[in-house]
């Protein structure tokens, strides 16, 4: 009987264990917008411009409307193909040349090649 009571207590404590909060994301035709659960950025947007170009925008409020920029000019070309997957608290955006990983917990963005080698990490 004591063993059963102990197992019940362990199961109850395991069920009540605090999990890491997880944010959310929305996919659109150009990429994803992530709303992390915590961190400095309230929104993180990844726009796929080409197989090797992903524009990252992180804002401290919820407004992703940015002023016009001479550094980023719309080309009118069709968007590069990409795939989006959610797994283990991360959203991955995969192109033919790279993979962008965004943490749903804190919005940290990491870029890897197809083999998983880290290319760059944005905090």
Q: Which domains does the chain have, with CATH numbers?
A: 24-66+74-122 (2.60.40.1760)
- State yes or no: pLDDT of 6 exceeds 60: no
pLDDT band at 61 (very low <50, low <70, confident <90, very high): confident
Percentage of residues in the chain with pLDDT exceeding 70? 70
| pTM of the shown model | 0.75
Reported as a single tens digit per residue, the pLDDT across 77-118 is 677 899 999 999 999 999 999 999 999 999 999 999 989 999
Q: Token pair for residue 49?
A: 């411009």
Backbone angles phi, psi at 104, to 5 degrees: -75, -20
Greater model confidence, 47 or 63: 47
């Amino acid at each position: 009987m004591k063993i059963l009571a102990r197992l019940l207590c362990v199961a109850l404590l395991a069920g009540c264990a605090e999990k890491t909060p997880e944010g959310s994301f929305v996919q659109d035709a150009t990429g994803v917008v992530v709303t992390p659960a915590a961190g400095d950025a309230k929104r993180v947007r990844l726009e796929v411009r080409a197989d090797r170009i992903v524009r990252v925008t992180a804002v401290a409020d919820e407004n992703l409307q940015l002023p016009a920029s001479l550094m980023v000019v719309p080309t009118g070309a069709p968007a590069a193909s990409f795939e989006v997957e959610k797994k283990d608290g991360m959203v991955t955006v995969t192109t033919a040349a790279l993979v962008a990983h965004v943490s749903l917990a804190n919005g940290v963005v990491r870029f890897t090649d197809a083999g998983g080698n880290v290319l760059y990490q944005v905090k």
